[in-house]
């Protein structure tokens, strides 16, 4: 099946309204890249910007003509109706919109009489004439026209008759779809449903209505769904809900809900599972860290922490997932924390490739250790590699230590010239050999890492490809009469993968050392478990 754009419109405005979010500033190249991703997602329409208002947007449409080859989507240019008292053909913005050469344009019009009189400073009649003239002009130029009715819901509440006349005027002039905008984002699903239903009743027949929801009540997605349930056939949203103030309706949640809850196929076959990838890629281009808790596409959207959840998931994952995560390109994850039960440990271990069936004593012991250690400040939630080493240690299926420590020492020197350097010495036993090595670094952890690596690398050459990628320190308040402790998380990686380990101690260097030892031990194991086995 091709794109369902003709029966139901999925209209993305990431590049126009989404770019109105504080902190976002796309280059033209960024905009082209986002457009390609949205096309891969399979939306029917991509609103690319406002040509004539911003040079970048004008350039975007010019470059799009040669540089974009869209498979699913049609590009839409946005602009406003003609200015009050200006002939449509003479309006500079209107001309710029036409020059963008898109098959479809989206015009924004005032539909709240208070805005007409106070913001536009014109009459009700002139505003209707601006709408009719502008829509007709673009239709005569062979364009499909969508008309965004700014402040429709607030305006309709204040003066329903005027709101209705705006919609009628646009439809009569040839607009393909009239989009009802909750511009101030103050609506709730019940009132949106009521208003759209009432308007449809007044218009009669099957009016082609759309919904554009801002998220000021955190109801943008719900309001969009309510409009569809009341008969809207066109929905506007943005990737990850980016937009002015708290944002717009998150198009991924809108798609997820329409598809999996209302049974509407709004994307072409095979596109739904691109959601997570497209969401994260757009976040990367926007330079905004992905929201891990975002519905459907967040890394935590299907992450289960509670032991009771895990015990039911062990029987059937559907018991605690509202949909199968795989259909939107996501994964289920089990988190092992103080809230874990034996089922959590079993499922997490399975995720890591360790089958604990037939090892009830290991399940109990790991569960008990995790709870005890978390009470002391450890956290395995983000440290899968340390958790795996803990389980392996209990299973005793392979050595968890690639070496044994005799001692380490680290000094920090502040020199006369202001330079601060650290130097570490480690003494370890590797495969029966006593090795002493030193390392330097810009800090004690760096120096320890260099020294330990130098000591081990001859026996485990793979460690030369392992890098320390990130290092996070958190001071945890002491409780029940104990002093503060330090928790260190170390991210490491080789050319194939990355992993996280944890260390906890009252002393920050010792906490770091523990995380570092797990990091390199895991690195040795990941490269060649048999090499580690030989070290026993
Ligand atoms: C709800 C929304 O998000 S709609 C999209 C809003 N997006 C943007 O505003 C981003 C891009 N905007 C811009 O670059 C600029 O505001 C421009 C180029 C559009 C206009 O800039 P300026 O000409 O300097 O005007 P300014 O921004 O001060 O005021 C807007 C003008 O548009 C008029 N206007 C506002 N809405 C409409 C409308 N629907 N139809 C016709 N004219 C309108 C206003 O009355 C005002 O006219 P005036 O200059 O005669 O007073
Ligand atoms: C058109 C638009 O972005 C709004 O009314 O919010």
> What's the confidence (pLDDT) of residue 94?
97
> Do 30 and 66 fall into the same domain?
yes
The CATH number of the domain holding residue 529 is 3.30.160.270
Q: Which of 16, 51, 79, 80 to mutate to test the pocket of ligand 1 (most atoms within 8 A of CB)?
A: 80
- Which residue, of 255, 286, 317, is where some domain finishes? 286
Reported as a single tens digit per residue, the pLDDT across 483-515 is 789 999 999 999 899 999 999 999 999 999 999
> Do 371 and 441 fall into the same domain?
no
> Do 59 and 106 fall into the same domain?
yes
297 inside domain: no
> Do 281 and 344 fall into the same domain?
no
487 inside domain: yes
pLDDT of 532 above 70: no
**pTM (two decimals):** 0.88
Residue nearest to atom 19 of ligand 1 (CA): 53
Reported as a single tens digit per residue, the pLDDT across 331-372 is 999 999 999 999 999 999 999 999 999 999 999 999 999 999
> Do 274 and 308 fall into the same domain?
no
Ligand 1 lined by 111 (C-beta under 6 Å): no
- Which residue, of 238, 259, 286, is where some domain finishes? 286
DSSP assignment letter at 250? B
- Please say whether the beta carbons of 504 and 486 come within 8 A: yes
CA gap 322, 313 in Å, rounded: 12
CA of residue 25 to ligand 2 center, whole Å: 19
Ligand 1 lined by 83 (C-beta under 6 Å): yes
Of 35, 45, 58, the residue nearest 12 (C-alpha): 45
pLDDT of 274 above 70: yes
CA gap 127, 225 in Å, rounded: 30
> Do 493 and 528 fall into the same domain?
yes
- 511-524 mean pLDDT: 94
> Do 78 and 225 fall into the same domain?
yes
> Do 32 and 158 fall into the same domain?
yes
- 117-133 mean pLDDT: 98
State how many domains the chain has.
Answer: 3
> What's the confidence (pLDDT) of residue 396?
75
> Do 310 and 251 fall into the same domain?
no
3 inside domain: no
Structural domain of 515: 404-534
pLDDT of 479 above 70: no
Average pLDDT of the chain? 94
Q: Tell me the three state secondary structure of residue 326.
A: helix
- Which residue, of 324, 356, 376, is where some domain finishes? 376
395 inside domain: no
Q: Which value does ipTM take for this structure?
A: 0.96
517 inside domain: yes
296 inside domain: no
* DSSP secondary structure, 469-514, as one string: EEEEEEEEPP-TT---EEEEEEEEE-SS-EEEEEEEESSHHHHHHH
């Amino acid at each position: 099946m091709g794109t369902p754009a003709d029966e139901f419109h999925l209209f993305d405005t990431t590049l126009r309204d989404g770019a109105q979010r504080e902190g976002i500033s796309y280059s033209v190249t960024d905009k082209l890249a986002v457009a390609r991703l949205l096309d891969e997602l399979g939306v029917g329409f991509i609103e690319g910007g406002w040509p004539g208002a911003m040079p970048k947007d004008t350039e975007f449409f010019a470059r799009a003509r040669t540089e974009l080859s869209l498979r699913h989507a049609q590009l839409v240019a946005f602009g406003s109706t003609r200015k009050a008292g200006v002939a449509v053909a003479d309006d500079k913005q209107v001309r710029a919109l036409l020059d963008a050469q898109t098959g479809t344009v989206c015009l924004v019009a005032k539909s709240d009489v208070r805005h007409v009189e106070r913001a536009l400073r014109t009459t009700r009649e002139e505003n209707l004439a601006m709408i009719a003239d502008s829509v007709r002009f673009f239709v005569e130029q062979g364009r499909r026209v969508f008309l965004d009715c700014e402040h429709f819901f607030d305006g309709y509440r204040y003066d329903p008759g005027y709101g209705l006349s705006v919609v009628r005027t646009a439809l009569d002039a040839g607009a393909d779809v009239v989009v009802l905008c909750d511009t101030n984002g103050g609506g709730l699903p019940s009132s949106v449903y009521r208003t759209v239903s009432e308007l449809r009743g007044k218009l009669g027949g099957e009016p082609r209505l759309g919904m554009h929801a801002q998220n000021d009540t955190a109801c943008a997605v719900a309001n969009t769904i309510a409009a569809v349930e009341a008969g809207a056939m066109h929905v506007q949203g943005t990737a990850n809900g980016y937009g002015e103030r708290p944002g717009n309706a998150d198009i991924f949640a809108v798609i997820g809900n329409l598809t999996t809850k209302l049974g509407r196929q709004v994307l072409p076959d095979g596109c739904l599972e691109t959601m997570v990838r497209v969401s994260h890629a757009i976040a990367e281009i926007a330079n905004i860290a992905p929201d891990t808790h975002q519905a459907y596409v967040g890394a935590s959207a299907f992450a289960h922490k509670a032991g009771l959840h895990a015990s039911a998931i062990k029987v059937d994952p559907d018991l605690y997932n509202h949909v199968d995560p795989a259909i939107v390109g996501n994964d289920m994850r089990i988190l092992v924390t103080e809230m874990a039960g034996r089922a959590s440990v079993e499922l997490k271990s399975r995720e890591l490739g360790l089958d604990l069936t037939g090892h009830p004593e290991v399940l109990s012991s790991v569960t008990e250790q995790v709870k005890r250690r978390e009470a002391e400040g450890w956290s395995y939630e983000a440290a899968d590699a340390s958790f795996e080493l803990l389980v392996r240690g209990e299973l005793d299926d392979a050595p968890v230590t690639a070496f044994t420590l005799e001692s380490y020492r680290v000094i920090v020197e502040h020199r006369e010239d202001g330079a601060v350097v650290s130097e570490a010495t480690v003494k370890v036993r590797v495969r029966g050999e006593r090795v002493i090595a030193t390392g330097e670094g810009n800090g004690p952890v760096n120096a320890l890492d260099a020294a330990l690596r130098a000591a081990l690398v001859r026996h485990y050459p793979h460690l030369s490809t392992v890098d320390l990628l990130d290092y996070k320190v958190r001071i945890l308040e002491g409780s029940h009469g104990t002093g503060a402790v330090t928790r260190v998380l170390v991210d490491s990686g080789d050319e194939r993968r990355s992993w996280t380990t944890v260390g906890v101690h009252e002393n920050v260097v010792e906490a770091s050392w523990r995380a570092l030892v797990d990091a390199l031990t895991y690195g040795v194991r990941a490269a060649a478990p048999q090499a580690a086995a030989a070290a026993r």
